[in-house]
Structure 1
């Protein structure tokens, strides 16, 4: 079994944000697919979701599909998957970002079944009675070459699952059109049905990360619990953009890295953007008319610098690629300063400042004349490109000078829409406490202690533009990375001010944010609907483009929204892009000292608190 996951429209090895070649893409993964197929008589190629959204190519294709003269061409992701002869795929959460109508249109032309057993238009009394959006499973029939020279038929059942949180994350575009069940609940009902329908083997396409087996019923990362469901012979995992088997999961219960199993079930998670090809080899025995798994080996095969593109795949995407590149290169304005995200997680970032100012300007114009127009407006923004699993090239780095449409996409990579909440000073303080969970607790006197918790996603690290605060790193995190209160007595956020004045707990603000965050994602406040301001559904990237075109970028960097409380004699280590070396003046107050490159290619710096 061969598998991809979280391709995110990286069909070609091209970085549309930086307008340069990229190291990974499905055109390169296709070369790995061809090599793996040549190793065996029988194979299946499966995709685990998140193939329709994720870069300017995907956004441009969707724009062409939804315009006044809408394109009727097959979506290039589907075209490529047809060309590669995928046998089945499941839906991921990002398939829903554009709404159901565009999703259905994008999937037209697929020559392979697309399955999902836990997303429904209406729930019934149990999973088997749900009115599902897509078929829950597919039965795939193929021939197996046996050691004794015989060729025998086998039926493989493929069942798919998506994160149930899509109804929360994309509630504005879905508008109640779908409802979700927990992955494990759905699997427990449907796996026996696959067996009853004639499946000799059952493969679960789990667009879900690998968590502990005792995760909640509606867990986002439910693959660990899924592996305990009887009757599943293999699992393709995804969503979290990690690689399994790998050392990242060495300490998780039930993991055997040597053969790639999770609670005894062969499992693979093949990275993201086509970076890896998942391969699960099953050793089967046919006895008494039945197939039985005798052994297995799972691995994630990486693209290397020597992996060539598949020319057929490149040709299949060429028309849309050329149009997307031409569109992305269109000039829209000028910036007097460099805009980057090298230090976005430690307070200094022109990239976040620009987005925040665009959000505030739009909200202010939208509520003019309303009763709440007199309230102060602040903006929550988070760094989407701040290294992490994306590597040392995963940063915004826009030089001073011409601004193009690709730069707007680089500054805001998701199709979120603008949102605004009416919150109190006390609630904003808790908002920042959740955000401050990205930092490890630092003991006074520490030397080069790691600053950032790598398990805390940077896209959940909000800063609130318009407020100023001091962060006390000697305190433990008040909340964990899921937004769960862990240390009620801890208070990292101190000296919170607005316009130079202390923020009162009962003081009211308008918080400009995005639709994803306003829905409570990342463990942040899920405000009562009465406290949401009706602003329509303007994509943040659209209002950002208008802001960039208006020439409103200041010629000097903004003051940081927060600083760390001084801790004399204490230093931390911080990893960022090697290109950050040219911008160390942005964090001069932390007296950065270079510590060289780490094994992943990040530049490490000592920061003095």
Structure 2
């Protein structure tokens, strides 16, 4: 890979080099054979996890938090004097603190978001916007990122991050202009060495260009429809790279909030990193969005990808994890050849550095961060402790994939109640159409043994509602039919691997490549069976409504969230065209209001479990991984066929589920309240 020509040395830089103890080369052009190392540091998907704190559990959590990522950043800078720090997006949303500053007590124009305060303490060189940046709407995003906007009749800029945000593939729908600057240049003086060991301070120019996932128009349709347009990431790169190359940068870094996918390219591809790496003119690729690590085993075997050293189609690339757990680091070894910097591939590599490299061994928090956000943190803590009721039962997602619907039943009950009260006013013609509700468990252990919803019996607070519903989605309802409901459930049931009854060894139940938040579970006088011995697309059997088989043409309205209703997750028949209710209210707030009205939550007030696995006798155990020591919770919620096989010693365990004992859901009536 050949990088861009460097500028002539500045006289001041030469004088600074003379003052050092090393020998100094005096020619005005950097001689061939000179070398330097440049580190590209990346954070991604921090999701406003500023502190090592779990707002849902109301306790410290040293396994997450930007305040610990900051320690990794400072250490990396000590290791690599020549470094650039970039953020890959999904930065401002994702915790109670973020929701508090956006929805409950919105920051004023002159106030900077807590996460940006923390990042500014480290001094970033640039960043881009992820899909979740748009969750709170364009006016809020414009305010907190310092874009010009009208406040009290005056055009002004509000407090934003002290680093440039670049975004090349989102445009104002009216003017056609980019929403943010598509690209920019970052200038630094770096240290280089000639072949005889002389040390020089030389100018180095990095161009950055940013991209967000094109499906934001579906995922945030309520906030973005008619306001912005979006292009594919490859098309955006090809549009702006000639402008960038005209500035002769030494390095072009693409900051993509997206992962890697080798499926045929389309302009609305969610994870277009593999194709972006193939665009001539891009030298380095920063990735995100997937909440996965690159380099890492998940991408082993992918075409033209080195998942060990961190190359995608010959370009150095990195993707950190999420929630402040990691720092992405690319060490670029550069050699001067024919007046240009070229990459020494053998000495270049990428890695993901963890804040907790081993269990119980986490780096300390940077002491400079917590004081910056102390007031906002205290306010968020007080807010989430607002009482809203009490519960007689535990509401958890430890075994949501295996049929424990306690936590989801609360969401489904609240969503269904809201739609049944609001829909007749908006659509009298749909008053007699049955209303179902769909919900998925957002926290199913992906982030570790603490990453589960767990609301114990006793008092309920707004923190409980935030635990039950993790994202700031709004409620939506779609009109469909029996065939649409079955297709919806078939897509959700792809969460499971196909189980072979004749196989003697262990078989994992869950296909971990598919996220738990796409395993929608429908309730509302509906019952169905999932047969995991069948192939994907043919697993839903005995689909019934109020005990009678569902006919393909039978009409239904399904309460869900705006993400799913607008096409999120690529469920068939869900593209935004059949939305019959787009509520202004967030699902979390709807859940909290329903719990307030309920007062004391009893099991009989929740809809019955709607599904079970088809009875299947297997030669070997069917297994899954969950938090260790939770077998009693499964049994208390009627999942008697689950037993813990082995504890992994890290807070997780392997469980076995006896599919032969699967039984029909009980036909228990659900006491629903209408107030």
**Structure 1 and Structure 2 fold alike (TM over 0.5):** yes
1:6 aligns with 2:45: yes
Q: Give SS of 1:367's match.
A: helix
| Conservation of the 8 A alpha-carbon contact between 2:288 and 2:320 | yes
The partner residue of 1:303 within 355, 375, 379 is: 355
| Conservation of the 8 A alpha-carbon contact between 1:203 and 1:232 | yes
Structure-2 change in CA distance of 1:532 and 1:360 (3 Å):
same
Deviation at 1:594, TM superposition (A): 1.3
Match of 1:371 in 2: 429
Deviation at 1:281, TM superposition (A): 1.1
Match of 2:150 in 1: none
Aligned-pair Cα RMSD in Å: 1.9
Deviation at 1:468, TM superposition (A): 0.6
Match of 2:614 in 1: 565
Taking structure 1 as the reference length, the TM-score comes to 0.93
Structure-2 change in CA distance of 1:224 and 1:313 (3 Å):
same
Q: Distance in 1 between matches of 2:232 and 2:636?
A: 45
Match of 1:35 in 2: 75
| 1:80-114 Cα distance to aligned partner (Å, 9 max, x none) | 12111011010000000011000011112221110
Deviation at 1:288, TM superposition (A): 4.4
Structure-2 change in CA distance of 1:253 and 1:58 (3 Å):
same
Farther off after superposition, 221-230 or 249-258: 249-258
Match of 2:587 in 1: 540
1:270 aligns with 2:320: yes
1:474 aligns with 2:530: no
| Conservation of the 8 A alpha-carbon contact between 2:174 and 2:227 | no
Match of 2:170 in 1: 119
Deviation at 1:511, TM superposition (A): 0.6
Farther off after superposition, 57-66 or 581-590: 581-590
1:96 aligns with 2:148: no
| 1:26-68 Cα distance to aligned partner (Å, 9 max, x none) | 100000110111112221110000000001010001125548x
Deviation at 1:462, TM superposition (A): 0.6
| 1:316-354 Cα distance to aligned partner (Å, 9 max, x none) | 111111111111122211011100011111222211000
> Counterparts of 1:178-193 in structure 2 under 5 Å?
178-193=228-243
Match of 1:596 in 2: 646
Q: Distance in 2 between matches of 1:599 and 1:258?
A: 27
Q: Give SS of 1:152's match.
A: strand
1:517 aligns with 2:572: no
| 1:138-188 Cα distance to aligned partner (Å, 9 max, x none) | 100111211221111111001111000001100012232111111112112
Structure-2 change in CA distance of 1:355 and 1:297 (3 Å):
same
1:463 aligns with 2:510: no
Task: Structure 2: state its 5+ residue gaps.
Answer: 1-39, 147-159, 660-675
Match of 1:484 in 2: none
> Counterparts of 1:54-69 in structure 2 under 5 Å?
54-64=94-104, 66=106
| 1:258-314 Cα distance to aligned partner (Å, 9 max, x none) | 421111111110100111111111112234443222232211111122300111111
Deviation at 1:366, TM superposition (A): 0.5
1:359 aligns with 2:415: yes
Q: Distance in 2 between matches of 1:145 and 1:255?
A: 31
Structure-2 change in CA distance of 1:212 and 1:526 (3 Å):
same
Q: Distance in 2 between matches of 1:455 and 1:227?
A: 23
Q: Distance in 1 between matches of 2:80 and 2:449?
A: 36
Q: Distance in 2 between matches of 1:244 and 1:392?
A: 22
> Counterparts of 1:66-85 in structure 2 under 5 Å?
66=106, 70=108, 72-85=110-123
1:135 aligns with 2:191: no
Structure-2 change in CA distance of 1:531 and 1:588 (3 Å):
closer
Q: Distance in 1 between matches of 2:78 and 2:559?
A: 53
| Conservation of the 8 A alpha-carbon contact between 1:64 and 1:71 | no
Q: Distance in 2 between matches of 1:43 and 1:555?
A: 56
Deviation at 1:3, TM superposition (A): 0.8
Q: Distance in 2 between matches of 1:606 and 1:530?
A: 42
Match of 2:34 in 1: none
Match of 1:48 in 2: 88
The partner residue of 2:603 within 555, 566, 574 is: 555
1:494 aligns with 2:552: no
| Conservation of the 8 A alpha-carbon contact between 1:157 and 1:203 | yes
| Conservation of the 8 A alpha-carbon contact between 1:366 and 1:535 | no
Match of 1:156 in 2: 206
Deviation at 1:542, TM superposition (A): 1.0
Deviation at 1:368, TM superposition (A): 3.6
Match of 1:482 in 2: none
Match of 1:393 in 2: 450
Match of 2:24 in 1: none
Task: Structure 1: state its 5+ residue gaps.
Answer: 125-129, 479-490
| 1:465-497 Cα distance to aligned partner (Å, 9 max, x none) | 12110111111101xxxxxxxxxxxx2111111
Structure-2 change in CA distance of 1:518 and 1:258 (3 Å):
closer
Farther off after superposition, 580-589 or 491-500: 580-589
| Conservation of the 8 A alpha-carbon contact between 1:117 and 1:159 | yes
Deviation at 1:529, TM superposition (A): 6.0
Q: Distance in 2 between matches of 1:588 and 1:512?
A: 26
1:144 aligns with 2:144: no
Q: Give SS of 2:401's match.
A: helix
Farther off after superposition, 46-55 or 174-183: 174-183
Deviation at 1:590, TM superposition (A): 5.3
| Conservation of the 8 A alpha-carbon contact between 1:65 and 1:72 | no
Taking structure 2 as the reference length, the TM-score comes to 0.84
The partner residue of 1:205 within 248, 255, 260 is: 255
The partner residue of 1:19 within 58, 66, 75 is: 58
The partner residue of 1:333 within 378, 389, 393 is: 389
| Conservation of the 8 A alpha-carbon contact between 2:296 and 2:308 | no
| Conservation of the 8 A alpha-carbon contact between 2:413 and 2:607 | no
